[in-house]
Amino acid sequence: MQKAISIFSFTALAFLASCTSCPLGHKTTAKGKVEHVVLIWLKNPGDAKDRAAVIAAGKKFQREIPQVEHLSVGTPLASERPVVDDSFDVGLVMRFANAADLAIYEKHPVHVQAVNDVLKPAAKKLLVYDVVTE
């Protein structure tokens, strides 16, 4: 009986992991999309005002820059796992249709203004990761 449950569980997990549009609403991002991940460490770590300003600037990107297809912005999830870096203050994850849309975003006046007026004054360190989906 235990072996049958194990085989069923493995088969179910393999099926769910391979589907691109599962009944639970999980989807695989289409090939060629660009995920733009920005991690920000503030000059004054934990400063609520600076953190709120960075988050507000990020939310403005989705409202005012058409190339931003999706935005997630927030604070790190605390973790005890050694592989997790939760030392940053604010993280943004944006999705673009392609690298060309990311390039447009980089030069968009709303983004340029946020960098100059919010990020440069508040950020001590900033890391960016761009991932093209397969």
Please, how many CA atoms are within 13 Å of residue 113, restricted to the half-sphere of its CB? Answer: 11
Domain assignments of the chain as residue spans, ordered by start: 29-132
Q: How far apart are CA 43 and CA 29, in angstroms?
A: 34
* CATH T-level topology, domain 29-132: Alpha-Beta Plaits (3.30.70)
pTM higher than 0.85: no
User: Mean pLDDT over all residues of the chain?
Assistant: 86
pLDDT exceeds 70 at position 44: yes
pLDDT tens for 73-128 read 999 999 999 999 999 999 999 999 999 999 999 999 999 999 999 999 999 999 99
